[in-house]
């Protein structure tokens, strides 16, 4: 069996082993740069850990499709950074900042195509199921991103709309990663569905945890500027909770900060964060993360393999949420 560390080594080796054409260098240099500046590699690790639940045979027919999932994820980040006007990614300049917007768009497109190419290295009998699942998830990601941008122009949205948005934008790709892993491992249809549900709940928990980190973590820790969600009026679990809970003058102040046009980033961030603290929305968000994680644990227990085969999968997801064994 493979630990997450073993699998990450396989993924990093696979990423480094991809041979890109000699030119045009302006197209491929940003691709290499994007893949070289780090990342947790959560999606390919989850895919291969899911596969390893059911088989010990982890070959290139599994590793290359998993690598494709990481490249697709990086593609979405390149385009997200353009739309969010985010100049930093993993403590390094974003591609559109290091080069320019047109280069970032085109290089991102190339990464998307590369992802599909790698998915097709799966066993021939499984390619159709894998591509069908992946195509649906990829479209979900686009839908979620559109909702995310739509919501920037709305002062308020309800929690259900926010959760649906992150289900599409973030959780769909994590869900399809665990699902594809189960398909590659020859899991039963019921276990494939369980792994998809595990990935979905992991994705929801992961995004809400990211919401918390954006407002409360040091920028060096998260690899991008702290408070960008607040600055860009991004709808997060924290913000939707604050809008729902705030009353009277506090509600007016919050809406004024969200609608204000000439408010400095520092002032807006400090004032909204103070409202978050007074309403204890961080606690609510952390509680929601625990609820999703509990569902993950229940579904993992139901997966029809011996308990010892689940050890490394459980160890990895625990590590994602700072849990101790």
pLDDT tens for 88-119 read 898 899 999 999 999 999 999 999 999 999 99
Residue 325 lies in a domain: no
pLDDT at 324: 43
CA quadruple 268, 271, 273, 275: dihedral sign: negative
Contact criterion met (CB below 8 Å) for 27 and 107: yes
Question: How far does Cα 39 stand from its chain's mean position?
Answer: 11
The domain in which residue 101 lies consists of: 4-320
Peptide bond into 24 cis (omega under 30): yes
Residue 116 lies in a domain: yes
CATH of the domain at 53: 1.10.600.10
pLDDT at 223: 56
Number of domains within the chain: 1
Residue 209 lies in a domain: yes
What's the rounded Cα separation, in Å, for the pair 307 and 46?
17
Residue 234 lies in a domain: yes
What's the rounded Cα separation, in Å, for the pair 286 and 281?
9
Residue 28 lies in a domain: yes
- b/e 18-47 (16+ beta carbons within 10 angstroms → b): beeeeeeeeebbbbeebbebebebbbbbbb
pLDDT at 221: 60
What's the rounded Cα separation, in Å, for the pair 277 and 282?
7
Biggest alpha carbon–alpha carbon distance for the chain: 62
User: Splitting the chain (325 residues) into consecutive groups of 10 residues, what average pLDDT does each group show?
Assistant: 97 96 94 94 98 97 98 97 89 95 97 98 98 98 95 90 98 98 98 98 96 82 71 91 97 93 90 97 97 97 98 96 61
Contact criterion met (CB below 8 Å) for 223 and 88: yes
What's the rounded Cα separation, in Å, for the pair 182 and 195?
7
């Amino acid at each position: 069996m493979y630990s997450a560390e073993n699998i990450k080594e396989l993924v990093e080796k696979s990423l480094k082993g991809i041979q890109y054409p000699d030119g045009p260098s302006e197209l491929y240099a940003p691709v290499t740069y994007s893949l070289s500046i780090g990342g947790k590699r959560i999606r390919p690790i989850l895919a291969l850990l899911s596969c390893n639940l059911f088989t010990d045979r982890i070959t290139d027919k599994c590793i290359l499709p998993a690598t494709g999932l990481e490249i697709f994820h990086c593609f979405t980040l390149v385009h997200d950074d353009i739309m969010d006007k985010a100049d930093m990614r993993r403590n390094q300049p974003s591609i559109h900042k290091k080069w320019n917007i047109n280069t970032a768009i085109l290089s991102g497109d190339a990464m998307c195509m590369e992802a599909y190419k790698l998915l097709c290295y799966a066993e021939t009998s499984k390619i159709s199921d894998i591509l069908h699942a992946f195509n649906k998830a990829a479209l979900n990601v686009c839908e979620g991103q559109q909702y995310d941008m739509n919501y920037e122009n709305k002062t308020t949205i309800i929690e259900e709309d926010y959760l649906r948005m992150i289900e599409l934008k973030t959780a769909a790709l994590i869900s399809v990663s665990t699902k594809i892993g189960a398909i590659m491992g020859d899991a039963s249809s019921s276990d494939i569905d369980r792994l998809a549900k595990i990935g979905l709940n992991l994705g929801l928990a992961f995004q809400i945890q990211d919401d918390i980190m954006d407002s409360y973590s040091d920028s060096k820790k998260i690899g991008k500027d702290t408070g960008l969600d607040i600055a860009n009026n991004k709808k997060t679990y924290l913000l939707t909770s604050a809008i729902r809970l705030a009353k009277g003058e506090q509600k007016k102040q919050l809406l004024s900060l969200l609608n204000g046009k000439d408010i400095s980033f520092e002032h807006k961030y400090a004032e909204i964060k103070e409202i978050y603290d007074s309403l204890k929305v961080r606690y609510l968000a952390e509680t929601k993360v625990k609820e999703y994680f509990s569902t993950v644990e229940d579904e993992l227990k139901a997966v029809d393999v011996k308990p010892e085969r689940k050890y490394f999968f459980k160890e990895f997801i625990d590590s994602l949420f700072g849990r101790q064994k």
